[in-house]
Amino acid sequence: MTATYRPRVLAVDVQSGGLERLYSILAPAGYDVLPASGKAAASAASRQAADLVLLDVQRPGTDGLAAYRRLVAELGGPSSPPVLMLTPRADRQTRREVLEAGVDDLLITEPLDPLELKVRVHTLLELKAHREAGGQRAEALLDPRMRWVEMERLARLGTLAADVAQNLGRVGEGLQRALAHVQSRAQQGLPPDPAELKKLGVAGEQMRLHGQHLLSLGPTSPKDIQRFDLRDLVPGVVERMRAAGRLGSAEVTVLLPEDPIAVVFNRRQLEQVLVELLANAADAVEDVNDRPRRIHVGVELPDMFGDFGPRLFVKDTGIGIFEDEVGAVFEPYYTTKAPEKGAGLGLTVARALVEAMGGKLTVQSRVNLGSTFTAELPEQTSSW
């Protein structure tokens, strides 16, 4: 049986306590953490075939950049591993200076958020794999301005993952309280209170939804980054959701172009985006009684002049969104659904994932006519 490959993360100049902390976070997530001193970092990276370097510095501005430049000079070459700088604190201007100097990403470690660390490490490794495969987007990230935008996206993604995890803990506490009530009543030979039983069911569904969103934001396998025909994504997701009963009574039509659209993305996360958009559309049409409950989902070809990339769209004939609420639909925990039907995170997660891929998610809506959500992906030059 072939052993699963574990990416090697070289921790440079990390003190013993910090090293133990990094190991406790990254090792269970599937990474090998290897210590090294600044002077021996380059030889260690080459000798141990490091996939990523964590550079720990106290002051990212002057001292940190000097250490980074020495490291890069010793590593040399375009194939050197990406560098994630760790520092206790840094203001926005310092972060911009660090990125413009060429550092791949910077993470504040006081406090150190385990989920954000894993998201940053995972995303940098994805970009590295994409670059090695000749991905256009990774080449664009050599531009310091593009790298600054990318780092801001990563920060939002990590913060969202941490927020989901925190709320998952609160939901778990509610689940334990409801379960304790049921157990107490059972010990007394009494039936459980219907209201408490409902709380138990709601908490269980919230746990499932939060767990699903957390998994979609967290580390994934390198096999998820693959080259595929974007058209193939849509029918599979629709069929799985229909079989699971998640499309309700909606009439779903799939619209696809004749020509293939070759892309290189994290397929699992892109599928999750489509799942969230379709689930939102299915809920939107469920309360419609004066017109057909229809959902159109499909793919549009990229602009031939390169002005925009391929687009995924989901259009529904649902209840629509009031104009003053359109901007709020992507905010965490904004929802009009009952607690047992949603956590208010689906569209937030979808937008975070699309932006992490370098795209954007937009919505157009009219009350009592319906909504159209469009995920515009970065343009890629690829052919079959």
Share of the chain above pLDDT 70, in %: 69
> Does the pLDDT at position 376 exceed 80?
yes
pLDDT at res. 136: 46
pLDDT digits (tens, 9 = 90+) for 150-167: 444 554 555 555 555 556
What does residue 245 show for φ and ψ, rounded to 5 degrees?
75, 20
Q: Are 99 and 151 in contact (CB under 8 A)?
A: yes
CB 44 within 8 A of CB 50: yes
Task: At 41, list the tokens.
Answer: 């970092």
Could you read off the pLDDT of 310-339 as tens digits, one per residue?
999 999 999 888 888 887 887 765 565 554
- Cα separation, 130 vs 153, in Å, equals 17
Residues 254 and 223: beta-carbon distance below 8 Å: no
- pLDDT computed for residue 373 by the predictor: 96
Question: What is the structure's pLDDT at 152?
Answer: 47
User: Has residue 383 got a pLDDT over 80?
Assistant: no
Banded model confidence at residue 256, pLDDT cuts 50, 70, 90? very high
What's the pLDDT tens digit per position in 281-301?
998 898 888 889 999 999 998
**Of 239 and 73, more confident:** 239
Dump pLDDT digits (tens) for 212-226: 555 555 555 555 667
CA 229/CA 241 separation, integer angstroms = 20
Q: What's the pTM value of the predicted model, to 2 decimals?
A: 0.51
pLDDT value for 113: 79
**Mean pLDDT of the residues in the chain:** 76
Phi, psi for residue 371 in degrees, rounded to 5: -135, 155
CA gap 32, 265 in Å, rounded? 25
Mean pLDDT value across residues 217-243: 78
Is beta strand 370-376 parallel, antiparallel or unpaired with respect to 311-316? antiparallel
